[in-house]
Amino acid sequence: MAGASITLESAEVDDALAKLLAAADDITPALKNIGEYEAKVTRGRFISKQDPNGNAWATLNPLYAQTKKGPGILVGETRSLSQIVWQLAGDGVEIGSNEIYSRIHNEGGTIRPKTAAALVFSMGGRTFLVQKVTIPKRQFLGFSTVDEQEILGIVSDHFAEAIGEN
């Protein structure tokens, strides 16, 4: 570097930088807080019946609603789909449901028979044989802009705490 320079020798600054580097080396506490936050807001979507952007989920098929067991959309008797879990995964965190059918409900899609001639199911006291069933998208996983801001706040708090700021 040409010109003049100043060297700052400060035990306080050196200590703060060391703490910051240590916090950057172990972001596990921040990831755990992110996992807990996202699991909570995702479970809340089963109550509000809205996707991460606040859009209402598609209503139930009226025929299905006649005999459905459980209190509402995507919530059955066991409430197992809404039991959102999180886990640390490498240098990140995964949030989701352990139920195998969670993906089709979150993303929507068409179900077709794999080995049989038709899908067979009962709904509203009637039995159906069909070639396909379309499940509407009722997204519960994902991040809203509010979630993104909250996560940024969690990360910011992690580093502020590491250097002793409140």
For residue 115, tell me if it sits in a domain. Answer: no
Provide the domain count of the chain.
Answer: 1
Confidence (pLDDT) at 1? 47
pLDDT digits (tens, 9 = 90+) for 3-20: 665 556 767 767 766 777
Residue partners of 5: CB distance under 8 A and separation at least 6: none
For residue 100, tell me if it sits in a domain. Answer: yes
**If we measure between CA atoms, which residue out of 122, 132, 128 comes closest to residue 66?**
122
Buried b (16+ CB within 10 A) or exposed e, 42-54: beebbeebbbbee
Confidence (pLDDT) at 124? 85
Across residues 123-149, what is the average pLDDT?
A: 94
pLDDT digits (tens, 9 = 90+) for 74-94: 988 888 888 999 999 988 899
For residue 72, tell me if it sits in a domain. Answer: yes
Q: Locate tokens 């306080």: which residue?
A: 12
For residue 128, tell me if it sits in a domain. Answer: no
More confident residue, 152 or 13: 152
- For residue 76, give its domain range: 11-104+139-162
CB 102 within 8 A of CB 142: no
The predicted model scores a pTM of 0.81
Q: C-alpha distances in angstroms, 114 versus 118, 131, 132?
A: 9, 10, 11
* Residue 68 pLDDT level (bands cut at 50, 70, 90): confident
